[in-house]
């Protein structure tokens, strides 16, 4: 058994490390289950004695028997309650531990892997697979203990009458075969079913995330059509499993009926007339025959539990033991000094094969200041920021921080010192305060408020129903686009990193707030390296340097005024941008 477990259930075995801290609970569970089982096994013996006495007309010990039986009931119930208490305690603690590890590991996966696999992949593994695999060992102990009890009962019958034992034995072999068929088919169906439910959940997550778009586009019909397609695939698989199970259950019940019949015929026509067995024994066997069938069910349950658990554990290990290519990789060289230089040296990058996004981008930033990035939509501006934030690795070329290859630097150091405000930033479904504290959990309330004052959002937060304790809904659903952006800016101010990347971080601001935030960026750039991509190009006039991108390449890099002279591409972009919104643009060229 041990050898088989090692070879056949490697994934399940790999989760055993999590059992260590909960060992005491598991042992107590097993002990009390064993006790409950042993007590349960005494019932048929006591009952058969009672019946023998009753059928023999001996009524004297009835009160004693009744008390004994009641005592047994109480003891068994007590042992079961305690065993179940430890079962719940241990399985829930394990569930929590494994789930936490899976969630943590998920956050270490490469973005490209996360996007490629989709939310359903991770949700199912964090939830259902974790739940299933965390109870495997406990369920197996439970089934194994039950098995021993059932075996004890069969031994009891065999001692009473070997022929009867043999008859049951033969029936059990048939049942065993049927159960084996049932469980084996179930596993294959389970694999398909899990894949289908993953897709269904991902679809449902999208419905919730896109609820505004669905309403706004009046798109309930096409969305429900897609949901129906995904959902029916799952329903088909579930249906075929249920039908198969029911059919097998029918056959199994018929076989059980046949065994019953043979036992009755055998006992009634042969054993009893020939005085080979007592009527009481036959009655007890008949009453407790469920235990015998329980033996088969127990065996099937162990196989079922292990097979399903192994499948769940394997799916958990898709995350826990993901190949290196799917996991964020950093070096361990510490960033010993403040970041002073950033260099892209001939950087190439593609999100998917054969679709280059950066084609040998090179630029260098020396010392504090504010650097603008300008280029048409899709030219690779956000991609440059994503590479700096280490969301992705370049396919070729180097990114150097203080002269060191960014991939050799410690991940914590890089992420502590380079922080993006993303074009598609996310606000969590929590209070304003907790959203801000994400950036610096140890910040004081005063520091948080100071950051919010600098980002010109403090007064609006104070005016919310619960001030800083107001819950703002998933992705800031209950605040305005401009408020969300200023909250994101406050978040990065609180983090106070050396390098700040603002990717369209002001696109939703009105002119008043835009002016104030632009002033803030200029102020920040005196002590920090501030990189800016802006929807409205006015700020470029105030940048120390503007880097111009075209088709994933840097075609020019100079201060605004110089570019206006020397770079026709930039001049065109700037003129078009500022002339369409002259009034909104604080820095529009006169």
Ligand X SMILES: Nc1ncnc2c1ncn2[C@@H]1O[C@H](COP(=O)(O)OP(=O)(O)OP(=O)(O)O)[C@@H](O)[C@H]1O
The entry of Mg ion, ligand X, none near residue 383 (CB within 5 to 8 angstroms by kind) is: ligand X
The entry of ligand X, Mg ion, none near residue 120 (CB within 5 to 8 angstroms by kind) is: none
Residue of 282, 344, 524, 348 whose CA lies nearest to 419 = 524
Footprint of Mg ion on 192-211 (CB under 5 A): none
Of 517 and 549, the one with the shorter C-beta distance to ligand X is 549
Of 368 and 379, the one with the shorter C-beta distance to ligand X is 379
Beta carbons within 8 Å of 133's beta carbon, 6+ residues apart: 12, 15, 98, 309, 312, 313, 316
The entry of ligand X, Mg ion, none near residue 380 (CB within 5 to 8 angstroms by kind) is: ligand X
Beta carbon of residue 384, minimum distance to ligand X (angstroms, whole number): 7
Q: Give the Cα separation of 152 and 414 in Å (integer).
A: 64
The entry of ligand X, Mg ion, none near residue 218 (CB within 5 to 8 angstroms by kind) is: none
Strands 418-421 and 404-405, bridge-based pairing = unpaired
Distances (CA, A) of 372 to 358, 432, 467, 495, 496: 17, 30, 35, 21, 20
DSSP-assigned beta bridge partners for residue 418: 499
Beta carbon of residue 502, minimum distance to Mg ion (angstroms, whole number): 11
Q: What is the Cα 171 distance to its own chain's centre? A: 44
The entry of ligand X, Mg ion, none near residue 379 (CB within 5 to 8 angstroms by kind) is: ligand X
Of 317 and 386, the one with the shorter C-beta distance to Mg ion is 386
Of 307 and 488, the one with the shorter C-beta distance to Mg ion is 488
Strands 418-421 and 529-533, bridge-based pairing = unpaired
Residue of 502, 489, 500 whose CA lies nearest to 452 = 489
Instruction: Give the range of 122-130, 133-141, 380-388, 550-558 binding Mg ion by CB under 5 A.
Output: 380-388
The entry of Mg ion, ligand X, none near residue 244 (CB within 5 to 8 angstroms by kind) is: none
Beta carbon of residue 399, minimum distance to ligand X (angstroms, whole number): 15
Beta carbon of residue 361, minimum distance to ligand X (angstroms, whole number): 11
DSSP string, 519-547: HHHHHHTTTSEEEEE-SSGGGGGG-SEEE
Q: Give the Cα separation of 154 and 87 in Å (integer).
A: 27
Of 171 and 375, the one with the shorter C-beta distance to Mg ion is 375
Residues 252/245, Cβ–Cβ less than 8 Å: no
Of 476 and 552, the one with the shorter C-beta distance to ligand X is 552
The entry of ligand X, Mg ion, none near residue 536 (CB within 5 to 8 angstroms by kind) is: none
- Single residue of 91, 137, 382, 419 touching Mg ion by CB under 5 A: 382
Beta carbon of residue 545, minimum distance to ligand X (angstroms, whole number): 18
Of 256 and 381, the one with the shorter C-beta distance to ligand X is 381
Kindly list the residues in this chain that would bind ligand X in the complex (CB under 6 A): 115, 351-352, 357, 375, 377-383, 423
- 419-438 mask for Mg ion (x: CB under 5 A)? ----x---------------
Beta carbon of residue 373, minimum distance to ligand X (angstroms, whole number): 8
The entry of ligand X, Mg ion, none near residue 22 (CB within 5 to 8 angstroms by kind) is: none
With 0-12 / 13-18 / 19 or more C-beta atoms within 10 angstroms meaning exposed / middle / buried, residue 111 is middle
Q: Give the Cα separation of 387 and 576 in Å (integer).
A: 29
CB atoms within 10 A of CB 163: 15
Beta carbon of residue 549, minimum distance to ligand X (angstroms, whole number): 7
The entry of Mg ion, ligand X, none near residue 402 (CB within 5 to 8 angstroms by kind) is: none
Residue of 457, 549, 466 whose CA lies nearest to 509 = 457
Strand order, beta sheet including 553-558: 418-421, 499-503, 529-533, 369-375, 545-550, 553-558
Of 294 and 394, the one with the shorter C-beta distance to ligand X is 394
Distances (CA, A) of 404 to 313, 337, 341, 365: 40, 12, 10, 14
Instruction: Give the range of 139-147, 225-233, 382-390, 477-485 binding Mg ion by CB under 5 A.
Output: 382-390
Instruction: Give the range of 239-247, 254-262, 275-283, 374-382 binding Mg ion by CB under 5 A.
Output: 374-382
The entry of Mg ion, ligand X, none near residue 351 (CB within 5 to 8 angstroms by kind) is: ligand X
Residue of 164, 154, 160 whose CA lies nearest to 267 = 164
Beta carbon of residue 505, minimum distance to Mg ion (angstroms, whole number): 11
Residues 571/500, Cβ–Cβ less than 8 Å: no
Q: What is the DSSP letter of 479?
A: S
Interface with Mg ion (CB under 5 A): 382, 423
């Amino acid at each position: 058994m041990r050898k088989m477990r090692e070879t056949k259930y490697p994934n399940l075995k790999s989760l055993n490390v999590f059992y260590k801290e909960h060992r005491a609970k598991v042992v107590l569970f097993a002990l009390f289950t064993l006790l409950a089982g042993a007590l349960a096994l005494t019932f048929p013996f006591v009952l058969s004695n009672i019946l023998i006495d009753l059928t023999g007309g001996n009524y004297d010990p009835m009160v004693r028997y009744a008390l004994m039986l009641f005592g047994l009931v109480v003891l068994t119930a007590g042992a079961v309650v305690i065993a179940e208490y430890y079962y719940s305690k241990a399985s829930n603690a394990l569930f929590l531990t494994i789930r936490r590890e899976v969630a943590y590991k998920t956050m270490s996966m490469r973005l490209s892997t996360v996007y490629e696999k989709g939310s359903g992949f991770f949700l199912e593994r964090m939830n259902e697979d974790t739940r299933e695999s965390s109870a495997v060992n406990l369920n197996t102990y439970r089934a194994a203990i039950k098995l021993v009890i059932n075996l004890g009962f069969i031994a009891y019958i065999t001692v009473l009458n070997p022929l009867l034992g043999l008859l049951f034995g033969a029936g059990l072999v048939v049942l065993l075969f049927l159960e084996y068929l049932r469980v084996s088919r179930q596993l294959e169906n389970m694999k398909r079913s899990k894949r289908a439910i993953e897709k269904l959940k991902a679809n449902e997550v999208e419905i919730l995330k896109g609820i505004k778009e669905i309403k706004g586009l009046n798109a309930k019909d096409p969305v429900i059509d897609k949901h129906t397609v995904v959902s029916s695939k799952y329903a088909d698989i579930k249906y075929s499993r249920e039908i198969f199970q029911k059919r097998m259950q029918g056959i199994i019940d018929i076989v059980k009926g046949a065994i019953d019949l043979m036992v009755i015929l055998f006992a009634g026509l042969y054993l009893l007339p020939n005085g080979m067995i007592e009527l009481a024994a036959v009655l007890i066997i008949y009453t407790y025959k469920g235990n015998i069938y329980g033996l088969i069910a127990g065996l099937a349950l162990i196989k079922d539990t292990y097979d399903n658990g192994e499948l769940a554990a394997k799916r958990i290990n898709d995350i826990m033991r993901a190949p290196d290519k799917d996991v964020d990789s950093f070096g361990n060289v510490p960033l010993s000094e403040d970041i002073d230089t950033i260099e892209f040296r001939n950087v190439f990058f593609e999100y998917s094969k054969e679709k280059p996004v950066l084609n040998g981008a090179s630029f260098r930033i020396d010392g504090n200041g504010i650097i603008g990035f300008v280029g048409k939509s899709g030219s690779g501006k956000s991609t440059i920021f994503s590479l700096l934030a280490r969301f992705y690795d370049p396919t070729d070329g180097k990114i150097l921080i203080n002269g060191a290859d960014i991939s050799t630097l410690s991940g914590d150091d890089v992420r502590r010192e380079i922080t993006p405000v993303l074009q598609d930033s996310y606000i969590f479904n929590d209070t304003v305060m907790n959203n801000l504290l994400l950036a610096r959990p140890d910040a004081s309330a005063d520091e948080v408020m100071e950051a919010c004052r600098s980002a010109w959002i403090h007064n609006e937060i104070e005016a919310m129903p619960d001030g800083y304790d107001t819950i703002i809904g998933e992705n800031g659903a209950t605040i305005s686009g401009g408020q969300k952006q200023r909250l994101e800016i406050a978040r990065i101010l609180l983090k106070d990193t050396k390098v700040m990347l603002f990717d369209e971080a002001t696109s939703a601001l009105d002119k008043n707030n835009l002016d104030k935030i632009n002033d803030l960026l200029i102020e920040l750039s005196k002590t920090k390296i501030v990189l800016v991509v802006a929807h409205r190009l006015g700020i470029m006039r105030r940048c120390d340097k503007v880097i111009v991108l075209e088709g994933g390449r840097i075609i020019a890099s100079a201060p605004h005024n110089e570019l206006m002279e020397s770079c026709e591409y930039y001049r065109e972009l700037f003129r078009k941008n500022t002339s369409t919104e002259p009034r909104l643009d604080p820095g529009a060229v006169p």
